[in-house]
Structure 1
Protein backbone atom coordinates (compact mmCIF):
# COMPACT_ATOMS: atom_id res chain seq x y z
CA UNK A 1 0.00 0.00 0.00
CA UNK A 2 1.35 3.41 -0.99
CA UNK A 3 1.57 5.98 1.77
CA UNK A 4 0.65 9.54 0.79
CA UNK A 5 2.38 12.24 2.87
CA UNK A 6 0.03 14.39 4.84
CA UNK A 7 -0.51 17.85 3.42
CA UNK A 8 -1.18 20.64 5.92
CA UNK A 9 -4.12 22.98 5.62
CA UNK A 10 -3.72 25.29 2.66
CA UNK A 11 -2.29 22.55 0.45
CA UNK A 12 1.35 23.63 0.85
CA UNK A 13 4.00 21.06 1.69
CA UNK A 14 6.48 22.01 4.41
CA UNK A 15 9.77 23.45 3.15
CA UNK A 16 12.79 21.28 3.88
CA UNK A 17 15.58 23.41 5.29
CA UNK A 18 19.10 22.46 4.13
CA UNK A 19 20.53 22.19 7.62
CA UNK A 20 23.52 20.23 6.33
CA UNK A 21 24.44 23.07 3.98
CA UNK A 22 24.10 25.63 6.76
CA UNK A 23 26.31 23.58 9.06
CA UNK A 24 28.92 23.05 6.33
CA UNK A 25 28.84 26.75 5.47
CA UNK A 26 29.30 27.66 9.13
CA UNK A 27 32.33 25.38 9.33
CA UNK A 28 33.88 27.06 6.31
CA UNK A 29 33.22 30.54 7.70
CA UNK A 30 34.88 29.57 10.98
CA UNK A 31 37.89 28.11 9.18
CA UNK A 32 38.33 31.24 7.03
CA UNK A 33 38.02 33.51 10.07
CA UNK A 34 40.50 31.35 11.97
CA UNK A 35 42.98 31.64 9.10
CA UNK A 36 42.58 35.41 8.88
CA UNK A 37 42.85 35.90 12.64
CA UNK A 38 45.61 33.34 13.19
CA UNK A 39 48.08 35.91 14.63
CA UNK A 40 45.48 36.88 17.23
CA UNK A 41 44.12 33.40 18.01
CA UNK A 42 47.30 31.33 17.99
CA UNK A 43 48.81 31.06 21.49
CA UNK A 44 52.34 30.50 20.09
CA UNK A 45 54.33 31.12 16.96
CA UNK A 46 53.85 28.23 14.51
CA UNK A 47 57.60 27.48 14.45
CA UNK A 48 58.22 27.86 18.19
CA UNK A 49 60.06 24.73 19.39
CA UNK A 50 59.87 23.48 23.00
CA UNK A 51 61.51 20.07 23.32
CA UNK A 52 60.45 19.83 26.96
CA UNK A 53 56.82 19.63 25.75
CA UNK A 54 57.45 17.05 23.02
CA UNK A 55 54.33 15.00 22.19
CA UNK A 56 52.39 16.52 25.05
CA UNK A 57 48.69 15.71 25.21
CA UNK A 58 45.88 18.19 25.54
CA UNK A 59 46.67 20.60 28.35
CA UNK A 60 45.76 24.12 29.31
CA UNK A 61 48.96 25.39 27.71
CA UNK A 62 48.46 23.27 24.58
CA UNK A 63 44.72 22.67 23.93
CA UNK A 64 45.39 20.34 20.98
CA UNK A 65 48.73 18.98 22.16
CA UNK A 66 52.17 19.29 20.57
CA UNK A 67 54.22 17.47 17.95
CA UNK A 68 57.58 15.74 18.31
CA UNK A 69 59.40 19.09 18.35
CA UNK A 70 57.11 20.54 20.99
CA UNK A 71 55.39 22.86 18.53
CA UNK A 72 51.84 23.77 19.49
CA UNK A 73 49.40 21.98 17.17
CA UNK A 74 46.64 24.58 17.56
CA UNK A 75 48.97 27.36 16.43
CA UNK A 76 50.28 25.32 13.50
CA UNK A 77 46.78 24.37 12.33
CA UNK A 78 45.61 27.99 12.48
CA UNK A 79 48.57 29.27 10.48
CA UNK A 80 48.48 26.25 8.17
CA UNK A 81 44.90 27.08 7.21
CA UNK A 82 46.24 30.05 5.25
CA UNK A 83 48.37 27.96 2.92
CA UNK A 84 45.84 25.14 2.77
CA UNK A 85 43.04 27.51 1.66
CA UNK A 86 44.90 30.00 -0.52
CA UNK A 87 46.85 27.45 -2.57
CA UNK A 88 43.71 25.69 -3.95
CA UNK A 89 42.28 29.09 -4.94
CA UNK A 90 45.42 29.94 -6.92
CA UNK A 91 45.41 26.46 -8.43
CA UNK A 92 41.82 26.81 -9.64
CA UNK A 93 42.41 30.32 -10.97
CA UNK A 94 45.27 29.02 -13.12
CA UNK A 95 43.29 25.98 -14.25
CA UNK A 96 40.23 28.13 -15.02
CA UNK A 97 42.27 30.63 -17.04
CA UNK A 98 43.58 27.82 -19.25
CA UNK A 99 40.49 25.62 -19.28
CA UNK A 100 37.92 28.34 -19.93
CA UNK A 101 40.03 29.78 -22.74
CA UNK A 102 40.48 26.42 -24.46
CA UNK A 103 36.88 25.33 -23.92
CA UNK A 104 35.42 28.58 -25.22
CA UNK A 105 37.76 28.58 -28.22
CA UNK A 106 36.83 25.01 -29.11
CA UNK A 107 33.10 25.66 -28.80
CA UNK A 108 33.19 28.94 -30.74
CA UNK A 109 35.42 27.96 -33.65
CA UNK A 110 34.47 24.29 -34.00
CA UNK A 111 35.97 22.28 -36.86
CA UNK A 112 39.66 21.49 -36.69
CA UNK A 113 40.17 23.84 -33.71
CA UNK A 114 37.62 21.89 -31.69
CA UNK A 115 39.19 18.59 -32.77
CA UNK A 116 42.71 19.84 -31.89
CA UNK A 117 41.68 21.02 -28.41
CA UNK A 118 39.79 17.78 -27.83
CA UNK A 119 42.88 15.74 -28.75
CA UNK A 120 45.02 17.78 -26.34
CA UNK A 121 42.60 17.19 -23.47
CA UNK A 122 42.36 13.50 -24.38
CA UNK A 123 46.15 13.19 -24.22
CA UNK A 124 46.11 14.85 -20.79
CA UNK A 125 43.44 12.40 -19.65
CA UNK A 126 45.62 9.50 -20.81
CA UNK A 127 48.00 10.20 -17.92
CA UNK A 128 46.82 9.76 -14.33
CA UNK A 129 46.65 13.20 -12.75
CA UNK A 130 49.02 12.42 -9.88
CA UNK A 131 51.55 10.83 -12.25
CA UNK A 132 51.53 13.92 -14.48
CA UNK A 133 52.04 16.17 -11.45
CA UNK A 134 54.93 14.03 -10.18
CA UNK A 135 56.58 14.22 -13.62
CA UNK A 136 56.32 18.01 -13.61
CA UNK A 137 57.73 18.19 -10.08
CA UNK A 138 60.58 15.85 -11.05
CA UNK A 139 61.59 18.31 -13.78
CA UNK A 140 61.09 21.63 -11.96
CA UNK A 141 61.68 20.59 -8.34
CA UNK A 142 59.56 20.35 -5.21
CA UNK A 143 57.73 23.19 -3.52
CA UNK A 144 54.25 24.63 -3.17
CA UNK A 145 54.59 26.88 -6.23
CA UNK A 146 55.51 23.95 -8.47
CA UNK A 147 52.68 21.87 -7.00
CA UNK A 148 50.13 24.61 -7.66
CA UNK A 149 51.29 25.05 -11.27
CA UNK A 150 51.43 21.30 -11.92
CA UNK A 151 47.98 20.66 -10.48
CA UNK A 152 46.63 23.70 -12.31
CA UNK A 153 47.77 22.12 -15.58
CA UNK A 154 46.27 18.79 -14.51
CA UNK A 155 42.87 20.34 -13.68
CA UNK A 156 42.73 22.48 -16.85
CA UNK A 157 41.51 19.70 -19.23
CA UNK A 158 38.56 18.90 -16.97
CA UNK A 159 37.52 22.55 -16.85
CA UNK A 160 38.07 22.86 -20.62
CA UNK A 161 35.72 19.97 -21.37
CA UNK A 162 33.07 21.33 -19.01
CA UNK A 163 33.37 24.84 -20.47
CA UNK A 164 33.11 23.49 -24.01
CA UNK A 165 29.90 21.62 -23.20
CA UNK A 166 28.13 24.63 -21.65
CA UNK A 167 29.55 27.03 -24.27
CA UNK A 168 28.14 24.91 -27.11
CA UNK A 169 24.66 25.21 -25.62
CA UNK A 170 25.08 28.95 -25.00
CA UNK A 171 26.45 29.63 -28.48
CA UNK A 172 23.27 28.30 -30.11
CA UNK A 173 21.05 30.89 -28.39
CA UNK A 174 19.48 33.69 -30.47
CA UNK A 175 21.33 36.56 -28.83
CA UNK A 176 24.63 35.30 -30.28
CA UNK A 177 23.21 35.53 -33.80
CA UNK A 178 21.85 38.99 -32.97
CA UNK A 179 25.29 40.24 -31.99
CA UNK A 180 26.75 38.77 -35.17
CA UNK A 181 24.16 40.59 -37.26
CA UNK A 182 25.13 43.79 -35.47
CA UNK A 183 28.65 43.32 -36.79
CA UNK A 184 30.41 42.32 -33.55
CA UNK A 185 33.56 40.24 -33.90
CA UNK A 186 33.91 36.80 -32.39
CA UNK A 187 36.42 37.89 -29.75
CA UNK A 188 34.20 40.72 -28.56
CA UNK A 189 31.14 38.47 -28.37
CA UNK A 190 33.01 35.76 -26.44
CA UNK A 191 34.71 38.09 -23.97
CA UNK A 192 31.86 40.52 -23.52
CA UNK A 193 28.82 38.26 -23.63
CA UNK A 194 29.42 34.52 -23.99
CA UNK A 195 31.91 33.95 -21.17
CA UNK A 196 30.06 36.24 -18.68
CA UNK A 197 26.89 34.23 -19.30
CA UNK A 198 28.84 31.05 -18.54
CA UNK A 199 30.30 32.48 -15.34
CA UNK A 200 27.59 31.19 -13.01
CA UNK A 201 27.93 27.60 -14.18
CA UNK A 202 31.73 27.72 -14.24
CA UNK A 203 31.98 29.22 -10.75
CA UNK A 204 29.64 26.56 -9.41
CA UNK A 205 31.81 23.87 -10.98
CA UNK A 206 34.98 25.41 -9.53
CA UNK A 207 33.46 25.40 -6.05
CA UNK A 208 32.85 21.67 -6.41
CA UNK A 209 36.49 21.20 -7.49
CA UNK A 210 37.86 23.15 -4.51
CA UNK A 211 37.70 20.21 -2.12
CA UNK A 212 39.43 17.94 -4.62
CA UNK A 213 42.18 20.50 -5.23
CA UNK A 214 42.74 20.95 -1.49
CA UNK A 215 43.02 17.19 -1.03
CA UNK A 216 45.40 16.89 -3.99
CA UNK A 217 47.71 19.58 -2.60
CA UNK A 218 47.63 17.97 0.84
CA UNK A 219 48.52 14.64 -0.77
CA UNK A 220 51.54 16.15 -2.52
CA UNK A 221 52.71 17.77 0.72
CA UNK A 222 52.25 14.44 2.52
CA UNK A 223 54.40 12.72 -0.11
CA UNK A 224 57.09 15.39 0.27
CA UNK A 225 56.51 17.07 -3.11
CA UNK A 226 54.54 20.10 -1.95
CA UNK A 227 55.10 22.34 1.07
CA UNK A 228 58.48 21.92 2.76
CA UNK A 229 59.49 22.36 6.41
CA UNK A 230 59.09 24.54 8.42
CA UNK A 231 55.74 25.16 6.70
CA UNK A 232 52.55 24.50 8.69
CA UNK A 233 50.67 23.11 5.68
CA UNK A 234 48.14 20.53 6.85
CA UNK A 235 49.35 17.78 4.50
CA UNK A 236 52.93 18.25 5.66
CA UNK A 237 51.79 18.20 9.29
CA UNK A 238 50.14 14.80 8.75
CA UNK A 239 53.36 13.46 7.25
CA UNK A 240 55.46 14.83 10.11
CA UNK A 241 53.06 13.47 12.74
CA UNK A 242 52.89 9.98 11.26
CA UNK A 243 56.05 8.82 13.04
CA UNK A 244 54.57 9.75 16.43
CA UNK A 245 51.76 7.20 16.00
CA UNK A 246 54.25 4.42 16.78
CA UNK A 247 54.89 6.11 20.13
CA UNK A 248 51.16 6.22 20.90
CA UNK A 249 50.75 9.95 20.13
CA UNK A 250 47.84 10.33 17.71
CA UNK A 251 47.24 14.07 17.91
CA UNK A 252 50.13 15.26 15.65
CA UNK A 253 48.58 13.40 12.70
CA UNK A 254 44.96 13.38 13.82
CA UNK A 255 44.54 17.15 14.28
CA UNK A 256 45.62 18.25 10.78
CA UNK A 257 44.00 15.17 9.22
CA UNK A 258 40.69 16.07 10.84
CA UNK A 259 41.03 19.65 9.63
CA UNK A 260 41.56 18.45 6.05
CA UNK A 261 38.62 16.06 6.20
CA UNK A 262 36.28 18.64 7.73
CA UNK A 263 37.09 21.34 5.17
CA UNK A 264 36.90 18.95 2.19
CA UNK A 265 33.54 17.53 3.28
CA UNK A 266 32.17 21.01 4.03
CA UNK A 267 33.27 22.32 0.63
CA UNK A 268 31.76 19.32 -1.13
CA UNK A 269 28.41 19.88 0.61
CA UNK A 270 28.40 23.61 -0.05
CA UNK A 271 29.82 23.14 -3.54
CA UNK A 272 27.09 20.77 -4.68
CA UNK A 273 24.44 23.15 -3.36
CA UNK A 274 26.14 26.15 -4.99
CA UNK A 275 26.47 24.31 -8.30
CA UNK A 276 22.77 23.48 -8.25
CA UNK A 277 21.80 27.05 -7.51
CA UNK A 278 24.23 28.66 -9.94
CA UNK A 279 23.49 26.18 -12.68
CA UNK A 280 19.67 26.33 -12.58
CA UNK A 281 18.87 29.89 -11.59
CA UNK A 282 18.66 32.45 -14.37
Structure 2
Protein backbone atom coordinates (compact mmCIF):
# COMPACT_ATOMS: atom_id res chain seq x y z
CA UNK A 1 0.00 0.00 0.00
CA UNK A 2 2.86 2.35 0.77
CA UNK A 3 4.38 1.83 -2.67
CA UNK A 4 1.08 2.55 -4.40
CA UNK A 5 0.61 5.72 -2.39
CA UNK A 6 4.02 7.04 -3.28
CA UNK A 7 3.87 6.35 -7.02
CA UNK A 8 1.65 9.30 -8.05
CA UNK A 9 3.83 11.69 -6.10
CA UNK A 10 7.02 10.45 -7.78
CA UNK A 11 5.64 10.60 -11.30
CA UNK A 12 3.84 13.89 -10.69
CA UNK A 13 6.97 15.69 -9.54
CA UNK A 14 9.23 14.40 -12.29
CA UNK A 15 10.26 17.29 -14.56
CA UNK A 16 9.08 17.06 -18.16
CA UNK A 17 12.01 17.21 -20.52
CA UNK A 18 11.71 19.08 -23.78
CA UNK A 19 12.23 16.86 -26.84
CA UNK A 20 15.25 17.70 -28.98
CA UNK A 21 13.01 18.65 -31.91
CA UNK A 22 11.18 21.21 -29.76
CA UNK A 23 14.47 22.75 -28.63
CA UNK A 24 15.68 23.03 -32.22
CA UNK A 25 12.38 24.53 -33.35
CA UNK A 26 12.37 27.03 -30.48
CA UNK A 27 15.97 27.99 -31.28
CA UNK A 28 15.11 28.59 -34.93
CA UNK A 29 12.12 30.75 -33.99
CA UNK A 30 14.21 32.70 -31.49
CA UNK A 31 16.85 33.42 -34.12
CA UNK A 32 14.22 34.51 -36.64
CA UNK A 33 12.59 36.87 -34.15
CA UNK A 34 15.98 38.26 -33.15
CA UNK A 35 16.96 38.75 -36.79
CA UNK A 36 13.69 40.56 -37.48
CA UNK A 37 14.17 42.85 -34.50
CA UNK A 38 17.78 43.68 -35.44
CA UNK A 39 17.24 43.80 -39.21
CA UNK A 40 18.12 47.53 -39.59
CA UNK A 41 21.39 46.93 -37.74
CA UNK A 42 22.57 43.62 -39.23
CA UNK A 43 21.26 43.83 -42.81
CA UNK A 44 24.21 44.68 -45.09
CA UNK A 45 22.07 46.73 -47.50
CA UNK A 46 18.77 48.57 -47.55
CA UNK A 47 15.98 46.19 -48.62
CA UNK A 48 15.06 48.37 -51.63
CA UNK A 49 18.63 49.15 -52.76
CA UNK A 50 18.82 48.33 -56.48
CA UNK A 51 22.08 47.43 -58.26
CA UNK A 52 21.39 46.26 -61.80
CA UNK A 53 25.05 45.42 -62.32
CA UNK A 54 24.65 42.65 -59.70
CA UNK A 55 21.42 41.24 -61.13
CA UNK A 56 20.91 37.56 -60.23
CA UNK A 57 24.37 37.35 -58.68
CA UNK A 58 25.17 34.16 -56.81
CA UNK A 59 26.49 33.85 -53.29
CA UNK A 60 29.61 35.89 -52.63
CA UNK A 61 31.32 37.95 -49.95
CA UNK A 62 29.28 40.99 -51.05
CA UNK A 63 25.98 39.11 -51.22
CA UNK A 64 25.92 36.11 -48.91
CA UNK A 65 22.62 34.79 -50.25
CA UNK A 66 22.84 36.30 -53.73
CA UNK A 67 20.60 38.91 -55.36
CA UNK A 68 17.32 39.05 -57.26
CA UNK A 69 16.71 40.25 -60.82
CA UNK A 70 16.95 43.90 -59.70
CA UNK A 71 20.23 43.35 -57.90
CA UNK A 72 18.62 43.64 -54.47
CA UNK A 73 20.45 41.75 -51.72
CA UNK A 74 18.37 38.72 -50.74
CA UNK A 75 19.76 38.50 -47.21
CA UNK A 76 18.78 42.10 -46.51
CA UNK A 77 15.31 41.62 -47.98
CA UNK A 78 14.68 38.41 -46.02
CA UNK A 79 15.78 40.05 -42.75
CA UNK A 80 13.55 43.07 -43.26
CA UNK A 81 10.72 40.93 -44.62
CA UNK A 82 10.72 38.86 -41.43
CA UNK A 83 9.02 41.75 -39.66
CA UNK A 84 5.99 41.79 -41.95
CA UNK A 85 5.91 38.01 -42.26
CA UNK A 86 5.81 37.55 -38.46
CA UNK A 87 3.82 40.57 -37.25
CA UNK A 88 1.01 40.23 -39.81
CA UNK A 89 0.07 36.68 -38.65
CA UNK A 90 0.02 37.91 -35.04
CA UNK A 91 -2.40 40.69 -35.97
CA UNK A 92 -4.48 38.24 -37.98
CA UNK A 93 -4.81 35.89 -35.01
CA UNK A 94 -5.56 38.82 -32.70
CA UNK A 95 -8.54 39.74 -34.89
CA UNK A 96 -9.70 36.11 -35.02
CA UNK A 97 -9.24 35.73 -31.25
CA UNK A 98 -11.26 38.81 -30.33
CA UNK A 99 -14.14 37.89 -32.63
CA UNK A 100 -13.96 34.13 -32.17
CA UNK A 101 -13.71 34.13 -28.38
CA UNK A 102 -16.55 36.66 -28.13
CA UNK A 103 -18.83 34.59 -30.36
CA UNK A 104 -17.88 31.30 -28.71
CA UNK A 105 -18.46 32.53 -25.16
CA UNK A 106 -21.68 34.32 -26.16
CA UNK A 107 -22.99 31.16 -27.77
CA UNK A 108 -22.11 28.90 -24.84
CA UNK A 109 -23.35 31.30 -22.16
CA UNK A 110 -26.78 32.11 -23.58
CA UNK A 111 -27.53 28.92 -25.52
CA UNK A 112 -30.95 28.72 -27.18
CA UNK A 113 -31.55 30.77 -30.29
CA UNK A 114 -28.31 32.73 -29.83
CA UNK A 115 -26.31 29.50 -29.89
CA UNK A 116 -28.25 28.38 -32.97
CA UNK A 117 -27.68 31.71 -34.73
CA UNK A 118 -23.92 31.71 -34.05
CA UNK A 119 -23.68 28.08 -35.17
CA UNK A 120 -25.48 28.86 -38.43
CA UNK A 121 -23.22 31.86 -39.08
CA UNK A 122 -20.10 29.76 -38.59
CA UNK A 123 -21.57 27.01 -40.77
CA UNK A 124 -22.15 29.50 -43.59
CA UNK A 125 -18.58 30.77 -43.30
CA UNK A 126 -17.29 27.19 -43.31
CA UNK A 127 -19.24 26.57 -46.52
CA UNK A 128 -16.76 28.82 -48.35
CA UNK A 129 -13.11 27.74 -48.62
CA UNK A 130 -11.04 30.12 -46.48
CA UNK A 131 -8.92 31.37 -49.37
CA UNK A 132 -11.98 31.97 -51.58
CA UNK A 133 -13.72 33.88 -48.78
CA UNK A 134 -10.61 36.02 -48.31
CA UNK A 135 -10.24 36.72 -52.03
CA UNK A 136 -13.88 37.83 -52.21
CA UNK A 137 -13.30 40.35 -49.42
CA UNK A 138 -10.09 41.59 -51.06
CA UNK A 139 -11.93 41.97 -54.36
CA UNK A 140 -14.34 44.39 -52.64
CA UNK A 141 -11.94 46.36 -50.45
CA UNK A 142 -8.73 46.15 -52.50
CA UNK A 143 -5.35 44.49 -52.10
CA UNK A 144 -2.78 45.16 -49.41
CA UNK A 145 -1.43 43.76 -46.17
CA UNK A 146 -4.08 45.43 -44.00
CA UNK A 147 -6.96 44.06 -46.06
CA UNK A 148 -5.37 40.59 -46.12
CA UNK A 149 -4.96 40.57 -42.34
CA UNK A 150 -8.57 41.61 -41.73
CA UNK A 151 -9.94 39.23 -44.34
CA UNK A 152 -8.01 36.24 -43.04
CA UNK A 153 -8.89 37.25 -39.49
CA UNK A 154 -12.55 36.88 -40.44
CA UNK A 155 -11.79 33.59 -42.19
CA UNK A 156 -10.12 32.20 -39.03
CA UNK A 157 -12.89 33.45 -36.74
CA UNK A 158 -15.28 30.46 -37.14
CA UNK A 159 -12.50 28.02 -36.21
CA UNK A 160 -11.64 29.94 -33.05
CA UNK A 161 -15.33 30.43 -32.22
CA UNK A 162 -16.13 26.72 -32.41
CA UNK A 163 -13.11 25.77 -30.32
CA UNK A 164 -13.93 28.41 -27.70
CA UNK A 165 -17.58 27.33 -27.59
CA UNK A 166 -16.59 23.70 -26.96
CA UNK A 167 -14.44 24.80 -24.01
CA UNK A 168 -16.97 27.29 -22.66
CA UNK A 169 -19.86 24.79 -22.68
CA UNK A 170 -18.14 22.74 -19.98
CA UNK A 171 -16.78 25.81 -18.17
CA UNK A 172 -20.20 27.44 -17.65
CA UNK A 173 -21.40 24.32 -15.80
CA UNK A 174 -18.71 24.57 -13.13
CA UNK A 175 -19.75 25.48 -9.56
CA UNK A 176 -17.89 28.79 -9.42
CA UNK A 177 -20.18 30.22 -12.14
CA UNK A 178 -23.29 29.45 -10.07
CA UNK A 179 -21.57 30.88 -7.01
CA UNK A 180 -20.96 34.21 -8.73
CA UNK A 181 -24.55 34.25 -10.00
CA UNK A 182 -25.86 33.74 -6.46
CA UNK A 183 -23.75 36.70 -5.36
CA UNK A 184 -25.61 38.83 -7.90
CA UNK A 185 -22.79 39.22 -10.40
CA UNK A 186 -23.98 39.83 -13.96
CA UNK A 187 -23.24 37.51 -16.83
CA UNK A 188 -21.00 40.00 -18.63
CA UNK A 189 -18.78 40.44 -15.56
CA UNK A 190 -18.60 36.71 -14.92
CA UNK A 191 -17.54 36.05 -18.50
CA UNK A 192 -15.07 38.92 -18.69
CA UNK A 193 -13.46 38.52 -15.27
CA UNK A 194 -13.59 34.77 -14.72
CA UNK A 195 -14.81 32.63 -17.62
CA UNK A 196 -12.61 34.01 -20.40
CA UNK A 197 -9.43 34.12 -18.23
CA UNK A 198 -10.00 30.47 -17.30
CA UNK A 199 -10.18 29.60 -20.99
CA UNK A 200 -7.13 31.72 -21.77
CA UNK A 201 -4.40 29.04 -21.63
CA UNK A 202 -6.25 26.59 -23.85
CA UNK A 203 -7.23 29.26 -26.39
CA UNK A 204 -3.68 30.62 -26.44
CA UNK A 205 -2.30 27.14 -27.09
CA UNK A 206 -4.73 26.72 -29.98
CA UNK A 207 -3.72 30.08 -31.46
CA UNK A 208 -0.07 29.06 -31.28
CA UNK A 209 -0.88 26.01 -33.38
CA UNK A 210 -2.77 28.21 -35.87
CA UNK A 211 0.17 30.60 -36.24
CA UNK A 212 1.93 28.43 -38.82
CA UNK A 213 -1.24 28.23 -40.91
CA UNK A 214 -1.59 32.01 -40.66
CA UNK A 215 1.96 32.50 -41.95
CA UNK A 216 1.27 30.21 -44.90
CA UNK A 217 -2.08 31.85 -45.68
CA UNK A 218 -0.62 35.36 -45.77
CA UNK A 219 2.35 34.20 -47.84
CA UNK A 220 -0.06 32.56 -50.28
CA UNK A 221 -2.07 35.76 -50.69
CA UNK A 222 1.11 37.77 -51.28
CA UNK A 223 2.30 35.17 -53.80
CA UNK A 224 -1.01 35.46 -55.67
CA UNK A 225 -0.74 39.26 -55.69
CA UNK A 226 -3.54 39.94 -53.21
CA UNK A 227 -1.43 40.65 -50.12
CA UNK A 228 1.72 42.73 -49.74
CA UNK A 229 2.59 44.85 -52.75
CA UNK A 230 5.99 45.95 -54.15
CA UNK A 231 8.40 47.22 -52.94
CA UNK A 232 7.56 45.23 -49.80
CA UNK A 233 10.02 42.53 -48.66
CA UNK A 234 7.23 40.16 -47.62
CA UNK A 235 8.44 36.59 -48.06
CA UNK A 236 5.44 35.43 -50.09
CA UNK A 237 5.86 38.37 -52.47
CA UNK A 238 9.59 37.63 -52.77
CA UNK A 239 8.80 34.06 -53.87
CA UNK A 240 6.43 35.41 -56.52
CA UNK A 241 9.00 37.94 -57.76
CA UNK A 242 11.75 35.31 -57.85
CA UNK A 243 9.69 32.82 -59.81
CA UNK A 244 10.62 34.31 -63.18
CA UNK A 245 14.33 33.99 -62.33
CA UNK A 246 13.97 30.21 -62.01
CA UNK A 247 13.51 29.99 -65.79
CA UNK A 248 16.89 31.69 -66.16
CA UNK A 249 18.52 29.14 -63.89
CA UNK A 250 18.68 31.39 -60.82
CA UNK A 251 17.05 29.52 -57.93
CA UNK A 252 18.08 31.73 -55.01
CA UNK A 253 15.50 34.56 -55.46
CA UNK A 254 12.66 32.09 -54.90
CA UNK A 255 14.51 29.52 -52.80
CA UNK A 256 15.74 31.87 -50.06
CA UNK A 257 12.34 33.33 -49.02
CA UNK A 258 10.64 29.97 -49.61
CA UNK A 259 13.09 28.30 -47.24
CA UNK A 260 12.48 31.02 -44.66
CA UNK A 261 8.72 30.41 -44.82
CA UNK A 262 9.19 26.64 -44.53
CA UNK A 263 11.55 26.94 -41.54
CA UNK A 264 9.18 29.22 -39.64
CA UNK A 265 6.08 27.14 -40.38
CA UNK A 266 7.70 23.82 -39.46
CA UNK A 267 9.29 25.28 -36.33
CA UNK A 268 6.01 26.85 -35.20
CA UNK A 269 4.14 23.59 -35.77
CA UNK A 270 6.69 21.55 -33.80
CA UNK A 271 7.07 24.00 -30.92
CA UNK A 272 3.40 25.05 -31.05
CA UNK A 273 1.99 21.54 -30.58
CA UNK A 274 4.30 21.01 -27.59
CA UNK A 275 3.37 24.40 -26.10
CA UNK A 276 -0.35 23.77 -26.66
CA UNK A 277 -0.05 20.43 -24.89
CA UNK A 278 1.69 22.03 -21.91
CA UNK A 279 -0.80 24.91 -21.73
CA UNK A 280 -3.75 22.53 -21.96
CA UNK A 281 -2.35 20.18 -19.30
CA UNK A 282 -2.29 23.06 -16.78
CA UNK A 283 -6.08 23.49 -16.88
TM-score per shorter chain, which class?
A: over 0.9
Q: Which residue of 2 aligns with 1:56?
A: 57
Cα offset, 1:255, TM superposition: 0.2
SS at match of 2:101: helix
Deviations 1:189-226 (A, max 9, x none): 00000000000000000000000001000000000000
SS at match of 2:162: helix
Name structure 2 gaps, 5 residues minimum.
1-9
Q: Which residue of 1 aligns with 2:3?
A: none
Q: Distance in 2 between matches of 1:191 and 1:143?
A: 34
Q: Which residue of 2 aligns with 1:37?
A: 38
Q: Which residue of 1 aligns with 2:236?
A: 235
Q: Which residue of 2 aligns with 1:168?
A: 169
Kindly tell me the number of residue pairs found equivalent between the two proteins. Answer: 272
SS at match of 1:242: helix
Cα offset, 1:281, TM superposition: 1.1
Q: Distance in 2 between matches of 1:253 and 1:277?
A: 36
Matched, 1:104 2:105: yes
Q: Which residue of 2 aligns with 1:256?
A: 257
Q: Distance in 1 between matches of 2:21 and 2:84?
A: 26
CA RMSD of aligned residues (A): 1.5
Deviations 1:46-79 (A, max 9, x none): 0000000000000000000000000000000000
Q: Distance in 2 between matches of 1:254 and 1:114?
A: 47
Name structure 1 gaps, 5 residues minimum.
1-9
Q: Which runs of 4+ in 1 moved over 6 A?
A: none
Q: Which residue of 2 aligns with 1:20?
A: 21
> TM-score, with normalisation over the residues of structure 2?
0.94
Matched, 1:182 2:183: yes
Q: Distance in 1 between matches of 2:97 and 2:126?
A: 17
SS at match of 1:145: helix
Cα offset, 1:16, TM superposition: 5.8
SS at match of 2:250: coil
Q: Which residue of 2 aligns with 1:5?
A: none
